[in-house]
Amino acid sequence: MAQHVATEQLTITDWVKGLAAIPGRDFTLENVQDYIIRHSARPGTLDKYCYFSKGNYTRNLIFKNEVFECMTICWEIGQASRIHNHRDQNCWMSAPIGRLKVQNSPSASTFTRSLSILARSTFVKKAPTAMSPSTTPANTAN
């Protein structure tokens, strides 16, 4: 996978505002992927959204509207999600802090709009990815 480095670092507030400025009809897999490749959230601005638990990874809401939701998902080292899908959802992931490993599993499924900023996670920092309706279920690990 090619490494992508965002050309512009924004506060998480400005990053979400820019994402929310994409009209619903244009909120496509490609347009959002392009946005998260070109813009990244400054890690220090995510601190108030990063909550960790020794028992399981956490999901922490940053923003939600009728088009998408944005959250941090925080894993301690060694934690992983179960194999799951994002039925009827698209999902974009970025790791402004740490690394994230995503492993897809073969299955037919459909994925609508959910956006995750993944923090302290095993995927290469600053290399966003997306899961589309054609993407198979996956698990995620740190």
Domain residue spans in the chain? 8-141
**CA–CA separation, 135 and 2 (whole Å):** 18
How high does pLDDT run on average in the chain?
Answer: 75
- Residue 64: pLDDT over 50: yes
9-20 tens-digit pLDDT: 999 999 999 999
91 CB neighbour count, 10 Å cutoff? 20
Quick one: pLDDT band at residue 1, thresholds 50, 70, 90? very low
Distance of CA 125 to the CA centre of its chain: 12
Place of tokens 């670092």: 9
Share of the chain above pLDDT 70, in %: 67
Quick one: pLDDT band at residue 4, thresholds 50, 70, 90? low
Q: What would be the CATH architecture of the domain defined by 8-141?
A: Sandwich (2.60)
**CA–CA separation, 80 and 125 (whole Å):** 17
Whether this prediction's pTM lies above 0.75 is answered by no
* 109: amino acid identity, one letter: S
